[in-house]
Structure 1
Amino acid sequence: MHELPSYERAVDQARAVCGAWFGPQSLAVEHLPAGFSGTLPLLVRANSSAWVLKSFPPATSPERAAWVHRLVRHVREAGVDAVPALLATPDGSTVVRAYDSIWELASFVPGASTAAPTTAQAQAAARALAHIHRAAATLPGEPPRQSPSPALTERVTRAATLVGDPWPGRTAEHASGHDGEFRDAIAARFAVARDLFAAHDGLRVLRGWSGMRPPVMRLQPVVRDVWCDHVLFASRDPAHVAGVIDFHAAGIDTPAADVARLFGSWLPPSDRRSLPLDACWAGALAAYEEVMPLTDQERGLVAALHAMGVVFGLDNWFRWTLDERREFPDQSRALGRIDRLLGELPVAIDFLGERRGGRV
C-alpha cells in the first residue's frame, strides 16, 4: 500500500502545494479521514472558503488526471451540483504537480455518509448517480459505445483465476508473516470463507462463470468508485444528497457497474438480506431509472456484478493481507469490511449458481 506521510509532513506539503492556488496567504489545514486507497485528504481553509486537497493515486499520468477533471467539469456544467467544484490556479489549470504527485483542490462538501440509508436516502442517492450518468454520457469525445463491460470481463477473468487457485486448496501458511491479533483475525476469517466456499459448491459455480463470453453492451464514462462513503447527505435535510465525491477512479464501463457498486455498499434491512441486490433495493433502482433508464441486460447485470464483487472482494482482502502483507492503518475498519463480505458470501455464491453459465 502507498505509505501515508506523517500528519506534520502532510500539512507542510499541503501548504507548499496550495501556494499554486493561493500564493503566500495564510492557510488553515486539517486532516480528513483517510480511505482504503492510501491517499490522505486535507481540509484547506482560505479566506471564507473551504477546499479538499487530495493527490491522485501514485503513477497517475497527467493525461489521466486531465481526463478525470474534464469529466468532473462537464458533469457540473450540465447542472449536477452534487459533484464538487474544482479550483483552477491563476494559469487556468485544475491540477498541480509536486512531490511526485498530481494534486487537486475540490470544494469541501459538508455532510455525512451512511452505510445503512433510509428508503428516502437510497432513492435520493440513486437519482444523484443517475443524473451524473446522464450528464457523463454526453462528455465530448467519449460518445457511448457498444463493447463488453470491463467490469464484467475482469470478473470473468478473476473467476478463472480463482478456479485455478481456489480457497479450499490454500493453507494457513498464507497467514505467516503477520504479527499479533490482526494476523490471527485474518487467518480465522479466511478459514470461514474457505469453508463457506466449499459448502456452497463455489468451485463449480465459478467454473460456470469463468467460461462465459461477456456480451456487448452500452459503455460510457462512469464513476467506478462510487460507494456509501462517497455519497454525503446534508445535515439539515438527511434525505438530500449534498455531494458525490472522489472521481479519481472514473473510467469507461456500463452504468450498471456503478449501480452495483453503490447499492452493494449499503447494508440492507434484515428482512431483505437474502434477496438479490436489484430486488433488495428495488425502490432505489426504480428511482435511478426515473432519470436514467436501464436496458433489461443492464438491469440483470446489477445483481450479478455485485455477487461476483463479494467473492472477489474477499479474495482481494485475503491477497492483500495474507499474500502481499499490506498494512492498513485502521485494522478494525479492514476487519469490518471483511466481515460484511463474509456475511454476504453464501447468498452471493447461491445467486451466481442460479445464474451459472453467465446468464445476465
Structure 2
Amino acid sequence: MTLADVLGRYPPGERPVSAPTPLGSAGGLSGSRLWRYDAPNGPRVVRAWPAGTALGRAVRVHAWLRSTADLPFVARPIAATDGSTAIERSGLCWEVAPWLPGAPAIGVPSLARVRAGFEALAGLHVRLSRTDARAGPSPGLAARRDELRGLVEGGFDLLATALATRPDDPCSADALAWLGLARRLAPGVLATATAAARLVLPLQPCLRDARPEHFLFTGDAVTGLVDFGAMDVETPAADLARLAGEWLPRGSCDGLRSDGLAAYAAVRPTAPDEAVAAGAFEDLADVLIAERWIRWRFLEGRRFEDVGAVAQGISRGLGRLRRLAGR
C-alpha cells in the first residue's frame, strides 16, 4: 500500500498507532488527498499533492515554510528518516505535517478573531519576505486581467451558448443573472486591472489561496494556518485581497474589515500601490468567482465531492458581483 510505504519512511515517533482516517479533499478543489492519524509524537496529517505536481515544487514550498519557524500556527512539514520533507511515491508527492488544533470562524467573526487573522497573515508575510523577495508587476493580476479580457472578447458568448442549451438546470437562473451583470461591469473592471497590472510591487512567496477556511481558531487565537499548496511568488496584496474579500466582503462588514486591514498594517505596513493592487484583485474576483463555477458546470462538466458546491459557488459569486455593481 502506497500510504503505508510513505509513512514507513518516517521515524517511529511519526508513524501511525492506528489506521489513518481518509479525509478526501477536505473540502478543497486542488486535487490533494488527505489522511489524519495519531502518532506517538502527536496528531498528524499526510497529504498527497495533486497528480502532476513535481517533487521540486513541493521542496520549494517547504523551503519557504522553514522561514516561519517561529510561528506556532504554521503547519510545517516533518522530515522523513533521510531528512527530506517531500517524498515521491507512485507518481505523487507526499508530505506529513502536524495536525493543528482549531476550527475556521463560521459566520460573521468577532473583532478579536478578525484582528488575530489579519495579524497572522501579516506575520507570515514578514517572514516569507526574507526569501525570494523582489519587485515587479504582479503575475496574478496579469493572469486575471487576461482571463477577464478573454471573457470580453468572446468568452461571455461561449457561456451564453452553453447556458441556452440547459434552461432547466437548477443553476441556470443565477448563472444567467451573473452573465448579464458581468457583461455590463467587465469593461470597467478590465480597465482598472490593466492599470494595476503595470504597477511595480513587492513580490515574495505568498499563499495565493488565503481563504478564511484555512485560518483555524481556538477561542480568539489563530492556532492553525493550513494548505500551502498554491504558494508561489506574488504580491502580498493578493493574499490580503483574498482574505478580506471572502471573509469580510466590501459593503457587508465594513467596520470589521477596516479593523482587520489596520491590524495587518500594524504588523506589515502597506504601500499605496499595494492597496490599489488589492482593490483590483477584489474587483476581478467579484467578476470571476461565479464564472469559474459556471464554466466548470456548463462547459467542462466537472464533478465535485460536494454536490452543492457548484450552486453555492455561483450564488456566492453573484452576490459579490451585485455588491460591486452597487458601489
Same fold, TM-score > 0.5, yes or no: yes
Out of 106, 131, 138, the position equivalent to 2:97 is 106
Out of 16, 36, 54, the position equivalent to 2:29 is 36
Out of 240, 263, 271, the position equivalent to 1:287 is 263
- 1:30-52 deviations in Å (ceiling 9; x for gaps): 13334222322110212251111
CA gap of 1:131–1:167, structure 2 versus 1, over 3 A, is same
- 1:231-270 deviations in Å (ceiling 9; x for gaps): 0001xxx21000111111111111110011111121559x
Identity within the alignment, %: 29
Distance, in Å, in 2 between the alignment partners of 1:329 and 1:103 is 22
Deviation at 1:101, TM superposition (A): 0.5
* Alpha-carbon contact 1:205-1:349 (below 8 Å) kept: no
Aligned to 1:70: 63
Out of 212, 237, 243, the position equivalent to 1:228 is 212
Q: Does 1:161 align with 2:142?
A: no
Q: Does 1:247 align with 2:232?
A: no
Unaligned ranges ≥5, structure 1: 1-11, 352-360
Q: Does 1:119 align with 2:111?
A: yes
Unaligned ranges ≥5, structure 2: none
Aligned to 2:48: 55
Distance, in Å, in 2 between the alignment partners of 1:256 and 1:123 is 17
After superposition, residues 1-360 of structure 1 pair within 5 angstroms as 12-22=1-11, 26-32=17-23, 33-76=26-69, 79-116=70-107, 117-139=109-131, 142=132, 144-167=133-156, 170-171=159-160, 173-174=162-163, 184-198=169-183, 201-209=184-192, 211-212=194-195, 214-234=198-218, 238-267=219-248, 272-273=251-252, 281-349=257-325
SS in 2 for 1:91: coil
Deviation at 1:207, TM superposition (A): 5.0
SS in 1 for 2:279: helix
Q: TM-score, normalised by structure 1?
A: 0.82
CA gap of 1:338–1:280, structure 2 versus 1, over 3 A, is farther
CA gap of 1:175–1:103, structure 2 versus 1, over 3 A, is farther
CA gap of 1:292–1:207, structure 2 versus 1, over 3 A, is closer
CA gap of 1:155–1:114, structure 2 versus 1, over 3 A, is same
CA gap of 1:337–1:280, structure 2 versus 1, over 3 A, is farther
Distance, in Å, in 2 between the alignment partners of 1:326 and 1:122 is 34
Deviation at 1:83, TM superposition (A): 0.5
Distance, in Å, in 2 between the alignment partners of 1:85 and 1:255 is 20
Two-structure CA RMSD over aligned residues (Å): 2.5
Distance, in Å, in 2 between the alignment partners of 1:55 and 1:282 is 38
Deviation at 1:338, TM superposition (A): 2.1
SS in 2 for 1:20: coil
Q: TM-score, normalised by structure 2?
A: 0.89
